[in-house]
Structure 1
Amino acid sequence: MRSKFILFVLLIIAIVVLACLMGPLIFNSYQNQKQESQLNITSNITQYREDNFTVRLSDMNGNPISNEQIHIVMLNESKSFEYTAVTDSNGVASLNLEDKEFGKYTFNCTFNGNGQFKPTNTIQRIDLVQKVITAPDYVEVNATLNSSYAGNDSYSEYIDTGSYENVSQGSFNYISV
């Protein structure tokens, strides 16, 4: 009877040791079952304040991953700004740049993973610049003259936009070329 008890205890110890040794292998195989994900910055490397910075989260086949948080860190020479954006049905998360300062930034974007997908991140340098609007060669000027001498005449003419300024005189507005 005593030998059966010792044999039973040894069997229990062997099962416990085997479980301790196999546990990490089972856990790692579970982790390896998670799918790879990819995070791609879809914004141009030059952005304007009117733009949105965008990044797309997808699986390795390009299928979007929606409703996931993307952590975005914007770094410039002196400051760091942290944001969180959520991917839409197309896997796209966006950050409005309207209130950001002009300058050169490094965008570090991270998806921390979930129960189905592994974490991933991406980094890109982006210049946030002021949009420059250039005038066409000629601008059409429409004005209504309203004076006792001119009556209610309306005129339209083209002026060269090389250099001009607005000049007001009485109830008239002129463009001086």
Structure 2
Amino acid sequence: MVRRTSGWQLSCSLLELLGLMMWIGSLTALLTMVIPAVFNTLGMETGGRFLRRVFDGYNAVIVGVVVVLIGTASFRYWKHRQEPQGNPPLKRSEVGLLMALTFVTVLVVAVLGPKAVALQEIAFEADSQEAKKAALEAFFRMHMIVRALHLINAGLAISLLVVKFRQWGRNQNATGFE
């Protein structure tokens, strides 16, 4: 007799899939379409201020996705403790990737992102050309780090998606996951 995947397992899987696809898709759209369009249409200062607001929204999305991923993982762990069946609900690779995603997200959203915004404001409000140049150099150094962390986080999200697809594939073969 083949055991069917329960509704809560399917719900958690769908939430995780939707969250990860939103994360990856929204960063892809920002990098390939929004940023070039903004800087080709608006000036540097106006475009920079606009993109700051866009990335505030993106950061809210990724924080929401991290909360969903942690919530579904916690629920799956709790549910497994209530009704132990078969394999553990969380693989080490999934936990490790989720911890790394959370760490990088907190680093970008709560620590380095606000510093980059402050440096951007200093650069935009500088009076002399020398002060503006120095502030822009400091901003771009910080911005390069934040940008790299966004790309690293996207890579971690893609890796987590691959881990989940493999896990779902195994579940389909073993338990009738539909």
Name the one with the larger helix percent. 2
TM-score normalised according to structure 1 size? 0.21
TM-score normalised according to structure 2 size? 0.20
